[in-house]
Amino acid sequence: MKLLFLTVIPSPYQRQLFSALAETGEVDLSVFYFTAGAHDREWKRPDLMPFETILDGRTVMKLGPSAHWNPSIMAAIDQVQPDLTVISDYSALTAQLAMRRLSWRKSPWMFWGEVPGFSQRGPIGSLIRKQLQAPIAKASAIAGMGSVAVNAYENLFPDVPVFNIPYFCDLSRFQAARNKAKPKDTIDVLFSGQMIPRKGLDVLIEAFDKVARKHPKLRILTLGSGPEQERYEQSVPADLRERVIFQGHKDPADLPDVFAAADVFCLPSRHDGWGVVVNEAIGAGLPILTTDAVGSGPDLVREGRNGYITPAGDAAALATVLDRIAGDDALRQSMAETSASMADHWDVTEGARRWIETVRTVSPKAFGA
């Protein structure tokens, strides 16, 4: 079966999935990227696999950083002649053209997306988003990234079959790093994300301020950079600054050891369509603290067993569970073991299996059924 993915950038996580899909031998895979990188990512441009192509094009910045335009998209699709095309990020101009043209041709295609509508918009923004989502109603199927996304797309497009295919990534390195982690005297809570308000690091710092003096071994370690970093650094009370450590951006190859050296993972986002860093934390066997605005929460957090989900933006609620988990070594250990036991079910090979199963259902003739 010829399977084509149209997606935005060659992110490390999606590339792991695509490699696993190609290795199954079940599909003849092609992947087109709208752009080589993004203004808010520090990923290095990778050496592409034979099935990957970065399309010629540009970003129409007047329309926003997601307005990627690749005028040759339909000619590129015609060259591949896919049995099924999978399109992500409906806001890109290229995706809009591809969805509408494929629908007009009656060519099979799927949409693959995170939770829609997580970011709040005014009346005009909501109307524009509704118009951009409209072509999805003509898709052969939708792959929602997690159970929250599945429920949302089922409500938006009741006549389109919806499948649950969240983000999966290679967890083997995180699992191996966990087995090498050494005992230490501190209790380290790891945050990994951009230094922007949406990721909620300020909420974690406020929660830490409420409980840190009760737990002198507790520390916050942060990964990532961004425009708000200086403000976040200055917001830490003077007596706690040695216990909130800003480590900056790390190369993806270094992440497994950094995760495995932590004791708890926290993603306190105000909204996050999925949050693949939670997958990585599962792989490293860490208890998870996240919010009800993180798409991966219902799928990856078993409340009270491997972590807690608190209301987004609620520092007091986060402080309560932070206090509980910092003060109970046995609870942390139990939660860590539960997360570790889940990792095999969230490896990239499971993602490839789920995609193959889905495309067999959506396009059985292409498999000779």
- pLDDT more than 90, % of the chain: 80
Query: Which pLDDT tens digit goes with each residue over 240-276?
Result: 999 999 999 888 889 999 999 999 999 999 999 899 9
Q: For residue 225, count other CB atoms closer than 10 A to its CB.
A: 15
303: its two tokens: 């409340």
20: its two tokens: 């696993």
In this prediction, residue 366 has a pLDDT band, given cuts at 50, 70 and 90, of low
CA-to-CA distance for 296 and 276, rounded, in angstroms? 8
Contact predicate 204/321, CB 8 Å: no
Q: Residue 179's pLDDT is what?
A: 84
Choose among 224, 147, 164, 218: nearest CA to 193.
224
Query: Which H helix or E strand runs over 73?
Result: helix 73-80
pTM of the model: 0.90
Choose the weakest-confidence range: 125-134, 214-223, 255-264, 282-291: 125-134
3-state secondary structure of 286: coil
Q: Residue 182's pLDDT is what?
A: 78
In this prediction, residue 60 has a pLDDT band, given cuts at 50, 70 and 90, of confident
Domains of the chain: 2-169+347-367 (3.40.50.2000), 172-345 (3.40.50.2000)
Give the burial class of 48: count Cβ atoms within 10 A of its Cβ; 0-12 exposed, 13-18 middle, 19 or more buried: middle
What is the average per-residue pLDDT within 344-351? 92
Query: Which pLDDT tens digit goes with each residue over 82-127?
Result: 999 999 988 889 999 999 999 999 999 999 999 876 555 666 666 7
In this prediction, residue 324 has a pLDDT band, given cuts at 50, 70 and 90, of very high
Choose among 41, 39, 29: nearest CA to 68.
39
Query: Which pLDDT tens digit goes with each residue over 151-202?
Result: 999 999 999 999 999 999 999 999 999 988 778 899 999 999 999 999 999 9
What is the average per-residue pLDDT within 125-141? 86
DSSP string, 82-129: -SEEEEE-TTSHHHHHHHHHHHHHT--EEEEES-TT-S---HHHHHHH
The strands making up 162-164's β-sheet, listed across from edge to edge, are 52-54, 28-33, 2-7, 84-88, 109-113, 141-144, 162-164
289: its two tokens: 């603290």
